[in-house]
Structure 1
Amino acid sequence: MNDRTTSLLAQPMRPPSAGRLGAYAGLFVLGALVGAAGALVQPGWFPGGLLLALAGEAGAVLGAARLMRSRAGGAAAAAGWMLAVILLTASRPEGDFLFAAGSGSYLFLLGGILVAVICATLTPGRQPDGAPARLAK
């Protein structure tokens, strides 16, 4: 390793700022809203609603990751989506439910998890300031 790489690796980690934590919380709420909207849209216009719900989730997660320039932004939006969808799958004591036992619901749940993982990991990791090329050996 060269001197510049060694000095960058030796720097202590700074805790995230309050603004950055607030942005992550906002992205979590955005993911939850996208999950709730997708849960309502996907059974209405099958298969178009399913594709629209998954595209909305992909846009939210990938956009969050690109906005924050880190995978953590995408993970925050994906976590909000998953929490909302899991809470909406539970049936109530009165027998009311939002997700019917059908192929569309299962595709939304499993496809949404797959889309969240793919989009959250597509964003490249942060590199130290400098040239956009890979670090030298």
Structure 2
Amino acid sequence: MSSVAEKLQRKAPRQAGTKQVRLKLVYVDFWSVVKISFLVAVCAGIVLVVAAVLVWIVLQSTHVFDSIDSLLRDVLGNNEFTVMEMFGLGQVALFAIIIAALNVVVGTALGAISALLYNLIARVTGGILVGFTNS
């Protein structure tokens, strides 16, 4: 006599059918898009500030600013002006923070506008058809 486990081992495994789902994206929640676009813009702003400071540090450590100062002295003959007076770490960081803050405002506004436009267009066209498969 054979056991149930042996009978199950002898059976060929069935092929599981792939399931397909087709969904229509007809509405995007406005506040969700605003929150996500705000968070993405904040992350991009942080990256911008850190990148600007790191680029300034690399340029300072490789003495690029000193080379520019010597070039300006040779060309203009002015010994009083230095690049570091105009582009110090504080000025560069403050400028990067201001640009990052403006990017957060603009990025959030663009996310809100895109959500509104998509919802209006989806009412007219019926939305986007998205297909998913289970493989």
TM-score, length-scaled by structure 1: 0.30
Rg larger in 1 or in 2?
Answer: 2
Query: Which structure would you say has the larger RCO, counting Cα contacts within 8 Å and 6 or more residues apart?
Result: 2
TM-score, length-scaled by structure 2: 0.30
More strand by share: 2
